[in-house]
Structure 1
Amino acid sequence: MLDLRRLLILREVSIRGTLAAVAESMSYSPSAVSQQLSLLEKETGLELLRKAGRGVRLTPQAEVLVAAAGELLDVLERTEAEVQASHSEVRGRVRVAVFQSAALALMPTALREMGRLHPQVRVEMVQREPEQALHETWARGFDLVVAEEYPAHAAPWWPGLDRRDLTQDAIRLALPPRADAPWPASELASCRDLPWAMEPAGAASRHFAEQTCRSAGFEPDVRYETADLQAQIRLVESGNAVALLPDLVWRDRTTTCRLVDLAGAPRRTVFTAQRTSGLGSPALDALRRILDEVASA
């Protein structure tokens, strides 16, 4: 009989690429990871790993074992959900990854409602960028992700994830409070020579913002880069920059920014995703239902 723990370590190798990364993700030492993989090779009588630069590459036989390990994890997750559903009250633990504006605008109310309605559920929240969070949810690092998708920039797709849209919010041009200070601006085209605040390169919002400016006939002068949208708001309110910001950032927050509609009324989509093997979990069902209610409020 193959050792399930060793199969899971092999699966982590297929996801992480290096033994050091596997050791970090599983809280093992690199030597312990190497030892367990060596024992798995002895158990199976197969060569499972080959050197590939600084990392390792799985053999075809190892890929078969990795697929089997994934199926076993699905079975275990479905079984756990069935056991949870057999209780008279909703209980368990939910690990959720969220992006910043959802953490600020949606999660506080959702967490309060979960605590009120389902006190036996422990919800653990971590802030992650959507692309990383979706991958980690597929890899079983999280149970649920609250992610975002910008126009013409599809979020990554991972097999075995169930996606459900939560809400859409408009994206608008945010300008300093006074039209005459420190520089006049009233529409996107008049911002061609102004300093911009945007998220770092590679973010979906950055790609959207740059393409929007280019469609208006100019290359934005991105003088301030930050993934913190609250910092972007302060840069705009203080008259140091302009930015393109989604409406969700203004929830439960007053602003002195002037907000201008963009051509075509672009909207961002906020959605949740979880593994299909966990769809029977009462705790996950409860949190997704409450998030739906909060988002639609």
Structure 2
Amino acid sequence: MLDLHRLRLLRELRLRGTLAAVAEALSYSPSAISQQLAQLESETGVVLLERVGRRVRLTEQAEILVRHTEKVLGQLELAEAELAASLREITGQIRVAVFQTAALALVPAAVSALAVAHPGLRARVRQLDPEQALPALQARDFDLVVGEDYPEEPQPRLPGLTLRPLDRDPLRLAVPDSFAADGLADLADAPWAMEPVGTAPRRWAQGVCRSAGFEPDVRFESTDMLLHARLVETGHAASILPDLLWASIPGPPRLLALPGAPARTIFTAVREGAERHPAVTAFRAALADSLAALRGALTLDGA
């Protein structure tokens, strides 16, 4: 009989890439991880790891074991969900990763609602961009992720995860009052604030500008949209910002519509088998209620 704990370590190595990363995530020493995987090799009678320079790589046989381990863990996840659903009260904790604007606009009200409806459920929330959060969800560092997909720039769909749309969040052009601009093409020579190179929002925003016939002069790079909004407010840059941002800060500045009225999709993601876990269901419902309340109160010019 194969040892499930050792199979999980092999899966962790597949997801995290190095023995040191697995050891750090699980609070083991790298030597302890190596010993456990060596015992797994002995149990299976096949080579599972091969050296590639200073790193190790999973063999074909190891990949087979990881695929089956995913299925076993998925069944266990489903068992946990059904067990929790059989209880009268929702208790325990739910670990949530959420990107910045959703953390600011949605999480406080959602956590407050949970505290009233389910006092035995503790939410642990971390702000994290979807590029990092989804692999961490896959690795069981979180139970639920609130993420975003930009138009034509969806997050990679990782095996073992299920995504559910929460809402569409319009994207508009935020322009300082001092800029003489009535549309995107008028900002060809303007300074811009965008997210860093390599991120989905940056690729999308650059593509929008290029489709208007110019390469944006990006003078400010940050994942912090509050900074983007401040740069617009103080007259230093134009930016493309989502409506949800204005639910958490005063404003907005002057907003202009973009061609095609684009919107990003806000979604929640969980591991397969956990969709019906009561804690997941409760947090998703609290997020939806929080968003509905905001949408009713949030009215913007430039729509």
Q: TM-score, normalised by structure 2?
A: 0.93
Letter in 1 for 2:260: G
Report matched runs for 1:95-244 at 5 Å: 95-176=95-176, 178=177, 181=178, 183-244=179-240
CA contact (8 A) 1:192 1:220 kept: yes
Residue 101 of structure 1 aligns to a residue in which SS? helix
* Alpha-carbon separation, structure 1, partners of 2:60 and 2:258: 51
CA contact (8 A) 2:70 2:160 kept: no
Residue 273 of structure 2 aligns to a residue in which SS? helix
Can you list the C-alpha shifts for 1:117-147, whole angstroms capped at 9, x where unaligned? 0111111111111122122212222111111
Letter in 1 for 2:282: A
Letter in 2 for 1:236: V
Residue of structure 1 in register with 2:84 after alignment? 84
Q: How many residues align?
A: 293
Residue of structure 1 in register with 2:249 after alignment? 253
Question: Any runs of at least 4 consecutive aligned residues in structure 1 with deviations exceeding 3 A, and if so which?
Answer: none
Letter in 1 for 2:186: S
> What's the offset of the Cα at 1:265?
0.7
Residue of structure 2 in register with 1:68 after alignment? 68
CA contact (8 A) 1:167 1:296 kept: no
Can you list the C-alpha shifts for 1:170-219, whole angstroms capped at 9, x where unaligned? 1111111x3xx3x4233211111111000001111111110111111110
* Alpha-carbon separation, structure 1, partners of 2:148 and 2:167: 10
Residue of structure 1 in register with 2:300 after alignment? none
C-alpha spacing 1:265/1:104, structure 2 compared with 1 (3 Å): same
Residue 68 of structure 2 aligns to a residue in which SS? helix
> What's the offset of the Cα at 1:256?
5.1
Residue of structure 1 in register with 2:24 after alignment? 24
Give ranges in structure 2 of 5+ residues lacking alignment: 294-303
* Alpha-carbon separation, structure 1, partners of 2:66 and 2:212: 48
Kindly indicate whether residue 287 of structure 2 is the aligned counterpart of residue 291 of structure 1: yes
> What's the offset of the Cα at 1:252?
3.8
1:272 to 268, 272, 275: 268
* Alpha-carbon separation, structure 1, partners of 2:248 and 2:16: 39
CA contact (8 A) 1:97 1:126 kept: yes
* Alpha-carbon separation, structure 2, partners of 1:58 and 1:85: 37
* Alpha-carbon separation, structure 2, partners of 1:53 and 1:208: 37
Give ranges in structure 1 of 5+ residues lacking alignment: none
Letter in 2 for 1:215: S
CA contact (8 A) 1:200 1:227 kept: yes
* Alpha-carbon separation, structure 2, partners of 1:256 and 1:9: 48
CA contact (8 A) 1:98 1:127 kept: yes
**Deviating more after overlay: 78-87 vs 226-235:** 78-87
Of all paired residues, the percent bearing the same amino acid is 53
C-alpha spacing 1:139/1:256, structure 2 compared with 1 (3 Å): closer
